[in-house]
Structure 1
Amino acid sequence: MKTILAYGDSLTFGSNPEPGGARHAYEDRWPSVVETSLAGKARVIAEGLGGRTTAFDDFSAPADRNGVRVLPTLLDSHKPLDLVIIMLGTNDLKVYLNGTAFGAAMGMKRLVQIIKSHPYDPGMVVPQVIMVAPPLTVETTHADLHPMFAPRADEAKLFDFYYSRIARELDVGYFNAASVAVADPRDGVHLDPANTRAIGEGLAPLVKQTLGL
């Protein structure tokens, strides 16, 4: 059986846009949808952390949100891995962090480099990689997320341009989640169950092709 690591933020965790809403049901989270589509041929380990960035520090939360710093530990704790799917970048756009799609793309590039160069055990396969550009943020009246993301809404539209270029440069798979999913206006960032499932459904054919399933 193949093993896939889904590395992301609250969209991978399954955060609900409803005020005070619980986490999405397990079967609605996009990593679960991908796993179901593979019909027992692979398992998907969901590593989603709210607020996680590609490569930038955010000391406003108790958890370490820097994706570059945490990834090597996860590559070791979940080895051997056949595929790593990375969907990050939304939190990089926060006005008090990096704030640009290009910066997020450079963070994604570093994450892919870490996966490709990690010191795996002798004879262990180097995981394949799929880069995923996240859904765009949308206008919202949310008291916190509006000032956090709205000033960078135009930057989010550049994810596809920069991410696809990096994916070609590094010869890894690429998927644009904005082509199938739209954020919920209740908070402008997170997804309802249908849009969360849509990411998994959209990714499934590429995952199957990548792993030869």
Structure 2
Amino acid sequence: MKTVLCYGDSLTWGFNPEGGRHSLEDRWPSVVQAALGSSVQVIAEGLNGRTTAFDEYVAGADRNGARILPTVVMTHTPIDLIIFLLGTNDMKPWIHGNPVAAKQGMQRLIEIVRSHDYGWPPPQILIVAPPVAGHTENAEYRAMFAGAEASSKHLAPLFAALAAETGCGFFDAAAVATTTPLDGIHLDAKNTRKIGEALAPVVRAMLETKETSRG
């Protein structure tokens, strides 16, 4: 059985902007699982507010993705593919609000995956750029993500360049999904499913490529 780890933030956790959490079947990792079938195990590791590699102290959980990643990876090893869907929370102005820093944070995650002592070959990596932040009349989210409408548009090209430089896969979630105007950041159930539907063939192809290379 192949193992795929989905490492992300609230978009992976399934945050529902209307309240609560999306149903399990609507979350994008579950959609990928359903499409790939029982020969693949898809593990969802989403945490609300998670950044690529930066601290934030307003929550009870450690949101620094780089600090937690080694523990998560060792928990689920061996892993064939890791999908990173992060970067939105890096756009908060008190984190840094700079897409270049988000690219550097993503690069650090790649370095962690490829340098860690697993006892198995390192997994493949698929970088997914999050949907672009949209306009909202929600005053709290507008303040939380001030400037993100402009800055988040640069994440996809920066992540695509990083993927090319490092030999990772890349997918731009903005090609299939848009954020809800309820908060400008999160997704409704339909758009969450769209990400999973679009990623499923990409994941399948990457797993098949790895199997061919082993042979």
* TM-score, normalised by the number of residues in structure 1: 0.96
Q: CA deviation at 1:205?
A: 1.0
Whole-angstrom distance in 2 between the partners of 1:13 and 1:33:
13
- CA deviations 1:22-80 (Å, max 9, x no partner) are 20000000000011110212011100000000000001111100000000001111111
The separation in 2 between residues aligned to 1:85 and 1:41, in whole angstroms, is 18
Q: How far 1:152 moved relative to its partner?
A: 2.5
- Aligned-residue Cα RMSD (Å) equals 1.0
Q: Deviations over 1:88-112 (max 9, x none)?
A: 0000000111111111011011101
Instruction: State the match for 2:64 in structure 1.
Output: 66
In structure 2, the residue matched to 1:83 is 81
Q: How many residues align structurally?
A: 209
SS at match of 2:37: coil
Match of 1:147 among 143, 157, 164: 143
Q: Does 1:135 align with 2:135?
A: no
- Unpaired stretches in structure 1, ≥5 consecutive residues: none
Within 2, Cα distance between the matches of 1:15 and 1:165?
A: 29
1:12 paired residue number: 12
Residue aligning to 1:160: 156
Name which of 150, 167, 173 aligns with 1:171.
167
- Percent identity of paired positions between Structure 1 and Structure 2: 51
Cα separation, 2, equivalents of 1:137 and 1:150:
10
Q: Distance in 2 between matches of 1:147 and 1:2?
A: 42
Structure 2 residue 50 is matched with structure 1 residue 52: yes
Distance, in Å, in 1 between the alignment partners of 2:148 and 2:134 is 10
* Structure 1 residue 113 displacement after superposition: 1.1
TM-score (normalizing by structure 2): 0.95
Residue 198 of structure 1 aligns to a residue whose secondary structure is: helix
Q: Describe the SS at the equivalent of 2:4.
A: strand
Corresponding position of 2:192: 196
In structure 2, what is the Cα distance between the partners aligned to 1:27 and 1:76? Answer: 26
C-alpha deviations, 1:142-171, integer Å up to 9, x for none?
131111113231110001110000000000
SS in 2 for 1:131: strand
8 Å CA contact 1:133–1:159 kept in 2: the answer is yes
Higher helix share: 2
The answer to whether the 8 Å contact 2:97/2:147 transfers is no
Which amino acid letter does the alignment assign opposite residue 6 of structure 2?
A
In 1, Cα distance between equivalents of 2:155 and 2:95: 16
CA contact (8 A) 1:95 1:148 kept: yes
Question: Which residue of structure 1 aligns with residue 118 of structure 2?
Answer: 120
Q: Is the 8 A contact 1:4 1:45 kept in 2?
A: yes
Secondary structure at the counterpart of residue 165 of structure 1: helix
Runs (5+) with no aligned partner, structure 2: none
